[in-house]
């Protein structure tokens, strides 16, 4: 392998693959994923992408085979690897939760004292309960965790949840959250020293896409008389751009707003006198 090129380990299977490839492409990296064969060269940046199993990403980065890696927070906690998290990537969101059969007594994490919990995340679970001095028995199984209570193998489970529908379908009820997880970009202190400026470039490129995804570009026309009211409606932070239009007394107003605020804004802007309101996606945003 070419030692001058930086290497990033990314998942080759599972639910983090598609959003990871999308993020790298949206950031502007040009590469062929060759049906995710082991290695892919970026054409426009000195970066090689290594496709490995999601849980092996940490090993590849920790051992210095890759300088950067994309994995999930929960896997980093499970591996108890003290690797620096360079960026939170905003996808692959899930929670590690404890759950019991819907008709069981426990209502909170503390109520799990003395119970047996089945999980495929034993290290994260053990550490969580030990930190809180709650004595539980962790039973490690690698799959079908949610059926363990029904089979009599455990009193409850600790498992990853995103919508919660798997719990409900299996007659389980969450009693609390052990950790929040999402896809993260990790590195090592050594790689951060050796490749400071290249890692900074990657962080900037990926960060600009993530920042862009969280916001929308809002454009509208309005009579000058409505301007003060519209400015009051638009969320603070950045001052909007006000551009005079050819028709006297009319202006165009452009502003960047959080994606999740758009829903509550449009009706109020229209009532205040805005017309021709456009909501446009932002490809990249560098504050």
Which chain residues interact with ligand AMP by CB under 6 A? Answer: 13-16, 54, 72, 74-75, 92, 94, 160, 162, 181
CB of 20 to ligand AMP, least distance (A): 10
CB of 53 to ligand AMP, least distance (A): 7
Q: For residues 95 and 195, which CB has a smaller minimum distance to ligand AMP in the complex?
A: 95
Q: For residues 125 and 255, which CB has a smaller minimum distance to ligand AMP in the complex?
A: 125
Closest CA to 86 of 217, 205, 215, 184: 184
Q: For residues 173 and 284, which CB has a smaller minimum distance to ligand AMP in the complex?
A: 173
Q: For residues 120 and 259, which CB has a smaller minimum distance to ligand AMP in the complex?
A: 120
CB of 175 to ligand AMP, least distance (A): 18
Which residue carries 């906690």 as its tokens?
Answer: 77
Alpha helices in the chain (DSSP H): 17-26, 57-62, 73-79, 122-131, 165-169, 189-194, 196-213, 227-233, 259-271
Count CB-CB contacts under 10 A for residue 66: 26
CB of 72 to ligand AMP, least distance (A): 2
DSSP-derived secondary structure letter, 107: -
117 Cβ partners below 8 Å, 6+ apart? 98, 125, 136, 137, 138, 139, 154, 155, 156, 157, 158
């Amino acid at each position: 392998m070419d030692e001058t090129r930086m290497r990033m380990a990314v998942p080759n299977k599972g639910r983090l693959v598609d959003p990871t490839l999308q993020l790298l492409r949206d950031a502007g990296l040009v590469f062929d994923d060759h049906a995710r064969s082991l290695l892919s060269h970026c054409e426009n940046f000195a970066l090689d992408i290594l496709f490995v199993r999601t849980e092996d990403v940490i090993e590849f980065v920790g051992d210095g085979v890759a300088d950067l890696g994309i994995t999930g927070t929960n896997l980093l906690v499970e591996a108890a690897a003290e690797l620096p998290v360079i960026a939170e990537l905003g996808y692959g969101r899930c929670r590690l939760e404890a759950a019991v059969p819907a008709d069981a007594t426990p209502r909170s994490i503390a109520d799990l004292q003395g119970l047996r919990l089945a999980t495929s995340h034993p290290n994260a679970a053990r550490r969580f309960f030990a930190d809180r001095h709650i004595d539980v028995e962790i039973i490690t199984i690698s799959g079908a965790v949610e059926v363990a209570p029904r089979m009599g193998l455990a009193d409850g489970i600790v498992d990853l949840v995103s919508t919660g529908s798997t719990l409900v379908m299996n007659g389980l009820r969450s009693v609390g959250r052990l950790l929040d997880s999402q896809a993260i970009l990790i590195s090592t202190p050594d790689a951060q020293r050796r490749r400071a400026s290249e890692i900074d470039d990657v962080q900037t490129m990926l960060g600009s896409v993530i920042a862009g995804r969280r916001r929308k570009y809002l454009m509208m026309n309005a009579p000058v008389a409505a301007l003060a009211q519209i400015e009051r409606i638009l969320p603070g932070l950045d001052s909007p751009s006000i551009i005079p239009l050819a028709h006297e007394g009319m202006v165009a107003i452009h502003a960047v707003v959080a994606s999740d605020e758009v829903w509550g804004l449009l009706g109020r802007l229209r009532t205040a006198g805005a017309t021709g309101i456009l909501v446009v996606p932002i490809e990249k945003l560098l504050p």
